C-alpha cells in the first residue's frame, strides 16, 4: 500500500509539474490601444512629446508603466509616433526644434523627423508605435521595429 500511495503521489506531482512546464505562460502583451493625449496640440512639421501610462502583461505580472512617444504630424496630415529609445543602445533622445531633428546625446546619433538615421552609430531608424487619432485623441498601440 505504501508503494501504491507513493506511486500515486509521484504520478500526480509529476503530472502537475509537466502541465506547469508545458503550458505556455502568457506572452508579453500590452493592453491594446492606449490613449496618449490630445492630438490637437500637434503642429505640422514639429515633434511633440506625449507622456502616458500603459499596462503590460509579462507572464503572470501585470505592470503599469509610464512611457513616452515623440509624435510628428507630417505635411500630409499623417501622424507617426516614435518610440523613446535610441536604436543604438537605448538612450533617451531629445528633439532639437531649431534643426527639426532628434539628437541622442550618448554617442551623438541624429535622426530625421521621420526617424531615419542622419548620422552616428545608430544602426537603424527609430522604432514606431502603431498610432491613430480618434475623436481628437491620440491612440498608441504596439511598438514595431523599424
**Sites of contact with ligand FES (CB under 6 A):** 86, 88-89, 91, 104, 106-107, 109, 120-122
CA torsion angle 23 27 31 37 (round to 10): 170
Minimum Å gap between C-beta 27 and ligand FES is 27
Nearer to ligand FES, 67 or 109 (CB): 109
For 61, the 3-state DSSP assignment is: strand
Minimum Å gap between C-beta 88 and ligand FES is 3
For 3, the 3-state DSSP assignment is: helix
Nearer to ligand FES, 80 or 126 (CB): 126
Minimum Å gap between C-beta 120 and ligand FES is 5
- What lies within 8 Å, CB to CB, of 135 at 6+ separation is none
Count the neighbouring beta carbons within 10 Å of the beta carbon of residue 130.
12
Nearer to ligand FES, 100 or 124 (CB): 124
Amino acid at each position: 500500500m505504501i508503494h501504491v500511495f507513493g506511486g500515486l503521489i509521484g504520478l500526480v506531482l509529476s503530472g502537475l509539474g509537466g502541465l506547469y512546464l508545458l503550458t505556455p505562460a502568457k506572452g508579453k502583451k500590452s493592453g491594446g490601444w492606449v490613449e496618449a493625449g490630445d492630438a490637437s496640440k500637434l503642429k505640422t512639421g514639429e515633434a511633440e512629446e506625449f507622456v502616458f501610462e500603459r499596462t503590460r502583461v509579462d507572464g503572470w505580472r501585470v505592470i503599469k508603466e509610464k512611457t513616452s512617444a515623440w509624435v510628428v504630424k507630417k505635411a500630409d496630415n499623417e501622424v507617426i509616433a516614435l518610440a523613446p529609445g535610441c536604436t543604438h543602445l537605448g538612450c533617451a533622445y531629445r528633439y532639437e526644434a531649431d534643426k527639426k531633428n532628434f539628437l541622442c546625446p550618448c554617442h551623438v546619433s541624429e535622426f530625421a523627423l521621420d526617424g531615419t538615421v542622419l548620422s552616428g552609430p545608430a544602426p537603424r531608424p527609430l522604432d514606431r508605435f502603431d498610432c491613430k487619432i480618434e475623436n481628437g485623441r491620440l491612440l498608441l498601440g504596439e511598438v514595431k521595429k523599424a
